[in-house]
Amino acid sequence: MPEITPENTPALAATHIQSDEPLLFEISSPGKRAWQLPPLDVPEADLELLLPAGTRDDIAGFPELSEIELVRHYTRLSTWNYAIDQGLYPLGSCTMKYNSRLNEVVARLEGLAEGHPLQPAAVMQGALRLMRRLEAALAEITGMDAVTLQPAAGAQGELTGILIIRACLAARGNPRAKILIPDSAHGTNPATAAIAGYRVENLRSDARGLVELSSLERLMDESVAALMLTNPNTLGLFEEDIHRIAELVHARGGLLYMDGANMNALVGRARPGDFGVDVMHLNLHKTFSTPHGGGGPGAGPVAVKSFLEPFLPVPRIVEGEAGGLRLETDRPASIGRVRAFFGNFGMFVRALAYILANGSDGLKQTTDDAVLNANYIRQQLEDSYALPYATPSLHECVFSDRLQARQGVHTGDIAKRLMDYGFHPYTVSFPLIVPGALMIEPTESESREELDRFIAAMRAIAREAETAPELVQAAPHRTRISRLDEAAAARQPVLRWQPKAQG
């Protein structure tokens, strides 16, 4: 810290660390410590014995701070986050819904929280039953026959599902080379197909924003292992021709994979198993109210039709003698493990709590509310922003910045300005088939009042784009940190802190 003098007092006051938190290294002073203990009244232990071999003692310069400085540092940083607990989080495709505190209470029950995956099956019957019950609930919700909970994310669920398809086709003596993916797909879909060793072929969307059937008819041949379809797709549109799509894929010996990340639009209303899907994944951290992103580990269960069950990852939880459950690992057709132990067990507890607390009526209501909220926003903003597809949408709506772009204002600018109005931005520039996309997903969590505040902010920004485009282009203005050079940050990232040169 610099010396405090009358001359620099105003400057120091203006840059109080409350408004710009330094690193712990930068506020460190030699000799400070964050603990206080009475003098030692037993012989000092030999550190060599206590510390594992190989512990380094030659690293100098760890930060030295008092306890209150440490507490304030992390508390301040925590207030910099925007979270669903603060307001609407309309990040489209991510389903940033509220996670009920009830789920957290249940997940912290001692018997569940303190279990260990290496306990013998005989003493973890409750945990096994909980997982079986969640598998059954997800099978019922999706209309599928069997579920694995192992994958730790949507993307890992995709890989698990595609490996299951690969194993199935290999077992049929009919391995194939290609996977078809619509141009509106999430980026993880082509990445998954490529990692599983497939060539990706792009499927065009038509003027409705749906899969173009004529393209599918042309591309679907005996070299195609599967179609990876998101339904509703990333425009928030239900693939109306889904039965025909499934027929076309199956007629040529291919399988239909569904990216189920958008199931918040379908739960209780439509079941993928009933419209021809063979394999799909779910995102518990989207649809089933478990923490998302930095808040906690994810879970991407995979659901399959019965003919694919032999290929599911091991271990499987199966009925044993005398009504007990046991773990089955000897399944020769299985693709093997995809995750240590059972997956992220704590998420299973939360998801089952959410499902049981809602019940079937509540889950259906949730879906209806999510769709209603998105359509309310769509209808209220239609006059201010261009709507590239007129097809009725479900749980999210996608606008483009076409009207604002005439003034040089783009989707990224509008998103930054939204931060000045106190909201987390929507998803910017995705899906890729909409140039300058604004993808908005409010979820069922929001009240009419919060939606109205968001709509008012979006309308105000549309007016500003007309009258004061430079204001929007330079946003945000009211945030702690103003506009960053994102291109430089991506191309020349500075990943390591270096102390400022002294003097």
SS3 57: coil
| CA 241 to centroid of chain Cα atoms | 27
> Mask: binding to ligand PLP, 261-290, rule CB under 6 A, as x and -?
xx--------------------x-------
- CB under 6 A: which stretch of 151-159, 309-317, 343-351, 464-472 binds ligand PLP? 151-159
Query: What is the closest distance, in whole angstroms, from the C-beta atom of residue 263 to ligand PLP in the complex?
Result: 10
**Nearer CB in complex with ligand PLP: 311/430:** 430
Both tokens assigned to 161: 């599902």
Asked if 427 and 397 touch (Cβ cutoff 8 Å), the reply is no
Query: What is the closest distance, in whole angstroms, from the C-beta atom of residue 344 to ligand PLP in the complex?
Result: 11
Beta bridge pairs of residue 147: 303
Determine the Cα–Cα distance for residues 374 and 90; give it in Å rounded to an integer. 10
Decide if residue 301 touches ligand PLP (CB under 6 A): no
Determine the Cα–Cα distance for residues 125 and 104; give it in Å rounded to an integer. 21
Determine the Cα–Cα distance for residues 116 and 238; give it in Å rounded to an integer. 42
Instruction: State the Cα angle at 91 between 183 and 301, rounded to 5°.
Output: 70
- CB under 6 A: which stretch of 3-11, 149-157, 423-431, 467-475 binds ligand PLP? 149-157
Q: How many CA atoms lie within 13 A of 478 on its CB side?
A: 8
**Nearer CB in complex with ligand PLP: 287/384:** 287
> Mask: binding to ligand PLP, 225-264, rule CB under 6 A, as x and -?
-----x---x------------------------x-xx--
Decide if residue 186 touches ligand PLP (CB under 6 A): yes
SS3 438: strand
Burial degree of 63 (CB within 10 A; 0-12, 13-18, 19+): middle
How far apart, in Å, are the Cα atoms of 212 and each of 105, 160, 297?
A: 47, 27, 36
Decide if residue 413 touches ligand PLP (CB under 6 A): no
Name which position in 188, 366, 411, 427 contacts ligand PLP (CB under 6 A).
188
Decide if residue 155 touches ligand PLP (CB under 6 A): yes
Asked if 180 and 203 touch (Cβ cutoff 8 Å), the reply is yes
Query: What is the closest distance, in whole angstroms, from the C-beta atom of residue 415 to ligand PLP in the complex?
Result: 18
Dihedral pair phi/psi, residue 27, rounded to 5°: -105, 10
Question: Binders of ligand PLP among 76-115, rule CB under 6 A?
Answer: 93-94
**Nearer CB in complex with ligand PLP: 230/373:** 230
Name which position in 90, 154, 232, 301 contacts ligand PLP (CB under 6 A).
154
**Nearer CB in complex with ligand PLP: 146/280:** 280
Which residues contact ligand PLP by CB under 6 A?
Answer: 93-94, 153-155, 186, 188, 230, 234, 259, 261-262, 283, 298, 300
